[in-house]
Amino acid sequence: MTTPTDTPSTPDAPLMTGAEILVKCLEREGVDTIFAYPGGASMPIHQALTRSTQIRTILPRHEQGGAFAAEGYARVTGRAGVVMSTSGPGGTNLITGIADAYLDSVPLIAITGQVASPLIGKGAFQETDMFGMSLPVVKHNYLVLDIADIPRVIKEAFHIAQTGRPGPVLIDMPKNVQEAKASPVFPTTIDLPGYNPLPKAKDAALQKMLDLIAGAKQPMIYCGGGIISGEASGELLEFVERTGIPVATTLMGVGGFPEDHPLALKWLGMHGTVYANNAVNEADVVLAISVRFDDRVTSKVERFCEHATIVHLDIDASEINKNKPVQLAIQSDVKYALGRLNCLLEAAGKKRAAAPVAYPEWYAKIEAWKQKYPLAFRDTGEIIQQQYVVSLLCEMTKGEAIITTGVGQHQMWAGQFYNFRKPRTFLTSAGLGTMGFGYPAALGAKVARPEMEVIDIDGDGSFLMNVQELAMAHIEGIAAKAIILNNQHLGMVVQWEDLKYGSNRAHTFLGDPKDLDRIYPNYVDICHGFGVKCERVLHKKDLRAAIQRMLDAKETYVLDVMVPYTEHVLPMIPGGMSYKDVITDQTNSKLSAQQGAQLPTAL
């Protein structure tokens, strides 16, 4: 509904089509880029986009690639990425990207063309119920049946996607609504009763949190992606330096706290550091800030932090006590809560100090874990190890690049061996774990941040899933880079085969079984076909120069680096087990078939 402060059209204002009104609404929301693949049910919108001087329309080569590119744009900017498809298969191809954004709390506007409204429910050509299909994986969705609703719907959609806990919003628009004509009325305010995107903690609850800290001897902060989406990294750093509490992040929280800080323990969970997992699980007070207590962090959840007093601070009430019962629950916008905590600490005389002094015995215990279980790997001579590639890339970029990843072993090594100091510099599919995310996400990130070096660290299996987006990169001149850690296998599944199934290979070899000496597929030839520069690296002695050529390139560039498939991501806590069951040595990570059969079924 409109409000008295809406901006009405004048009586003699020209009529606009629904598609033109939609584009004008996008412009009014500050949209400068849309990733859109056309089709019969979205053609009117594409026609209107050709007349926009503000919005750059980028053509992906698959709707899923467009969704991931829009996510990459959103993840580095904090603003909603926008993706559009036609009806039917175009819309269903977006679903994976929408679900990815939902699980990782990424603001995304997905627009789908729909068959004409009289045909809805009739099984028309390329008809799918996008409203119903998307319901489980959106923050909100709309089916627009009246042209007069377009301005309100678009304004609400951006507000919902970008405020509170961010997430995707889908807008399904029938073709006849796109082609209808009206004089639009553009609302300037939003009326959403019951939607309170920024709850604020009471000082009394925050003081209880500070009282628990005052009585702690081994406190820990375990924080997640909400620190980044809530723009609270600065407040977190100040809070840590006022309290002296060490910090472990989730994979989604990487970059939310500088990993070169003396109180940083990097990230915890299945492939997190031993010292982060030990510290969180052996703390007496755990401050869980903007986290979900997901299974990749907690593993056997009833044994996670089983002796600690847990404080859970989160913007989303549905997450509190969902997976793990806690002793103190605080629902609040994290930026506000940490800001108020810092004010209370200042009033109590707790000054900010970069050097940790508050818990010397606790620091010493953590340091002993760091010395005993460092993130390290064994040098194997001329064989190029995946960890070495990431470490060298971090050295050569000085840790200043935006890194995206696909999903698999390379994703974990990227998080382990690249050191992140700033938010919105590590883009990965954490919740849904979607292979094929890395390269299109890098393209979207590069469009949003053209001044930054953007590099996708990928695996050969994951890269192939959206390899067609090399065309988007070349045609649109998007100079994102990619390093493929090519082991000719689905490496993470191979690791589990080694762990649980006596190394029996069950369809995890990606090469050509008829010619084992051939590297298959040939990414150098594939990239050449797309007009993209690519080189293959076989020897460690050639790697540094190859990376430098990639970094010096002014256009998109791919390095195909051949690595062994026998390398395991360590440390590793097998699914369903506790932090005390961590595997730290590859010689101990190949269990017998009998032992493997006794492991929990969850990966």
Q: Identify the DSSP state of 279.
A: H
Mind telling me the catalytic residues?
Answer: 63, 125-126, 175, 492
Q: Residue 453: which region, alpha, beta or left (left: phi > 0; alpha: psi -120 to 50)?
A: beta
Here the tokens at position 471 are 């065309």
Looking only at the bridges linking them, the beta strands covering 81-85 and 16-17 are unpaired
- Give the contacts of 268 (CB within 8 A, at least 6 positions apart): 222, 248, 249, 250, 276, 277, 280, 297
Contact 456, 436 (CB under 8 A): no
Give the separation between CA 278 and CA 365, rounded to whole angstroms. Answer: 10
Give the type of residue at 343: C
Helix axes 409-417, 491-500, angle to 10 degrees: 100
Across the strands, what pairs with 17? Answer: 181
Give the separation between CA 197 and CA 105, rounded to whole angstroms. Answer: 14
Give the separation between CA 81 and CA 70, rounded to whole angstroms. Answer: 4
Phi, psi angle pair for 162, to nearest 5°: -100, -5
Report helix, strand or coil for 7: strand
Beta strands in 197-263 (DSSP E): 219-223, 247-249
Give the separation between CA 412 and CA 56, rounded to whole angstroms. Answer: 34
Give the separation between CA 234 and CA 563, rounded to whole angstroms. Answer: 38
Give the separation between CA 255 and CA 442, rounded to whole angstroms. Answer: 17
Contact 207, 344 (CB under 8 A): yes
Give the separation between CA 82 and CA 107, rounded to whole angstroms. Answer: 9
Contact 107, 79 (CB under 8 A): yes
